[in-house]
Structure 1
């Protein structure tokens, strides 16, 4: 059984065509310096910036690295930036408690693999893309929202990509991504995961994610 995982880059570019947001004016040097200081002081913003820096580096070396090389490059930063265990549990929903400990570990490992493989597969080149990160996160209860924009190459407008960050200091991790600023990736995953579990239980979900990861890493 194969889990359908929509290509991240394809969805971003499609969203770019519809996005109404326009890039803001360039900040003066003094404002840029102040923003950089605030950004460096906030661990949630720093997490997102580090992830983007690694992602861009992989995109610029995409052809030399190949999809598996990009996955190896992204592996440590994705694991340190995303709370993949929490994301897996939330995506599975209430049936998570019915998984055995081995099945829970298997689901987390498979979701981690497919997340890394998806980024490695979809961000497969550099065409002048720019990632902008708002240095001031927004509070959402005990969590934070870090707002960013991806400006694709060409004449496409920027696309909002927002991150829900949970935890403090070095423990801050992404637990959800909002495409176009509002489309929750966890909500999308929950629908996919629920269908897989209903059809074949935890083992079917794990197998489907593993197959999807292998397909992405083969360059398909």
Structure 2
């Protein structure tokens, strides 16, 4: 019986704590609202060309995301061994790669809805702004923004547990191991270039009537 009670208490403590927005949380929530406003505006007339989406969302992404912190976390322990110039180049390349990535993903959200919850969730030491993205087909995804003490985004979680930073760290592990900072910068820029150069998926032709 005691063991069951312990598990019950542990489960309760593990639940995210949702609280009404406090004065110190409003800036974080507004940052995410501004981000989604730009996302909605970028696809209000349909997905459009990727370069146009990148141009539309770049200013707000620059404002809302803490790319120096994200680059440091994504690179990991090797970060301290790089020169300031290398760190700056890595930060710039990561910012470009992620900006193009988010703009690219917007093609799936054209005609959908972006909803920001008016609250902050505390998950351990993390402050999270929870949101929901609904596609035009009605598919929902939970997209949660982890914000730091400066109210800027330093990670994005898909459906509660898929971390953008963890994915970036995995992607960068081989380029960092084989080419150091320069290898990682090259990889990130080539990744962005590849998305920008890709041709939009063509719509399937209508089926012909049987003869």
* Same-fold call, TM cutoff 0.5: yes
Correspondence for 2:81: 98
In the alignment, which residue of structure 2 is the partner of 1:176? 155
SS of alignment partner, residue 145 of structure 1:
strand
Matched residue SS, 1:123: helix
Relative to the length of structure 1, the TM-score reads 0.74
Listed one character per residue, the Cα deviations across residues 88-115 of structure 1 (whole Å, up to 9, x for unaligned) are: 1100000001111111111000001111
5+ residue gaps in structure 2?
Answer: 1-19, 200-211
SS, match of residue 119 in structure 2: coil
Report Cα offsets for 1:12-33 as digits up to 9, x if no partner: xxxxxxxxxxxxxxxxxxxxxx
Distance 1:192 1:127 in 2: 27
Max radius of gyration: which structure? 2
TM-aligned CA deviation for residue 141 of structure 1: 5.6
Per the TM alignment, residue 60 of structure 1 is displaced from its structure 2 partner at its CA by 1.7
Q: 1:197 to 1:54 in 2, by over 3 A?
A: same
The change in CA–CA distance for 1:200 and 1:43 in structure 2 (over 3 A counts) is same
Counterpart contact for 1:59–1:124, Cα < 8 Å: yes
Q: Measure the CA separation in 2 of the matches of 1:68 and 1:118.
A: 11
Distance 1:58 1:125, change over 3 A: farther
Higher relative contact order by CA 8 Å / sep ≥ 6: 1 or 2?
A: 1
Q: Paired residue for 2:143, among 161, 165, 170?
A: 161
Structure 1 stretches lacking a partner, 5+ long: 1-34
Contact 1:196 1:204 survives alignment (8 Å): yes
Instruction: Report which of the two has the higher share of helix.
Output: 1
Determine if the alignment matches structure 1 residue 42 to structure 2 residue 26: yes
Q: Residue 111 of structure 1 aligns with which residue?
A: 94
How many residues of Structure 1 are paired with residues of Structure 2 in the alignment?
Answer: 180
TM-align CA RMSD: 2.3
TM-score where L is the length of structure 2: 0.77
